[in-house]
Amino acid sequence: MKNKTLLEISVESVEAAAAAERGGADRIELCGRLSVGGLTPQLALIRAVRQQIRIPIFVMIRPRPGDFVYSPAEFAQMKKSVAAATDSGVSGLVLGILKPNRTVDIDRTRELVRLAQPLPVTFHRAFDACPDLSQALEDVVPPGATRILTSGGAASALEGAAKIKALVASAGGRVTIVPGAGINAGNILQLAAATQAREFHSGLSTVLPHPKTDCVQFEEEVRVIVKMLSTLTPE
């Protein structure tokens, strides 16, 4: 029997992290500037959130907005961020790095994964920028990433549900496929049925804009999704 379905919530503040935890989230993805897709958060924020919450914290490692093709200087910055986040006592990291042709940069991904050890690494939605997602899956596995966050190459996870389902089947337990993008209480059960995924990611940006200033409503939205997921029978 597999474990229960898990919900990861992306946040960019201590208040939102605490609200997500109160709402029943299983894990948070901690970012800076979610309005541009999430960047590496400040170390002070990482430490503050680490002190406040008990659920696992996965930290985003992304040096700038835009594409995921990084210069040597940006890659060096990513390595420093990985080391700092790992030393801060978080539970995992989230990152992605591509070659100029938009395929997975296997060698540099492997280097970051090794630097992050023993923490697990999620390969984020840089994955969706790859021209061939089936090949990208095969490229992400050898470096040792444990999860792939994806919308199936579509604008939302629901639109990419068929591809996500195919990725879940192809992954075969080698890596966990985590649907993300546009997920909320109104579509989570449909998405779960369509993809057969067991972990889901949401920032609730389709319900509440960034930054999350109304943490009471944010908490309630998280709680509703958690309640819906709890109705799913573990396999």
Helix, strand, or coil here: 103?
coil
Contact 12, 41 (CB under 8 A): yes
CB 136 within 8 A of CB 130: yes
**Cis amide linkage into residue 211, ω under 30° from 0:** yes
State the pLDDT at residue 3. Answer: 65
Residue 86 pLDDT class (50, 70, 90 cuts): very high
Q: What are the E-state strand segments in 33-175?
A: 57-60, 92-95, 121-123, 147-150
Going along the chain from its start, the domains and CATH numbers come out as: 6-229 (3.20.20.380)
- Band of pLDDT at residue 54, cut at 50, 70 and 90: very high
Q: Between residues 71 and 2, which one has the greater pLDDT?
A: 71
Please give the average per-residue pLDDT across 108-118, as a whole number: 97
pLDDT of residue 234: 64
> Sorting pLDDT into bands at 50, 70 and 90, what band is 164?
very high
Q: Is the pLDDT of residue 1 over 50?
A: no
Phi and psi for 69 in degrees, rounded to 5?
A: -100, 110
User: pLDDT, tens digit, for every residue of 195-230?
Assistant: 999 999 999 887 776 666 788 899 999 999 999 999
pLDDT tens digits, 122-159: 999 999 999 999 999 999 999 999 999 999 999 999 99
Mean pLDDT throughout 99-108?
98
Q: Checking DSSP bridges between strand 147-150 and strand 121-123, what pairing results, if any?
A: parallel
Q: Which residue is associated with the tokens 């946040």?
A: 11
| Per-residue pLDDT at 41 exceeds 90 | yes
Q: Is the pLDDT of residue 172 over 60?
A: yes
| pLDDT, average across residues 2-7 | 82
Distance of CA 95 to the CA centre of its chain: 9
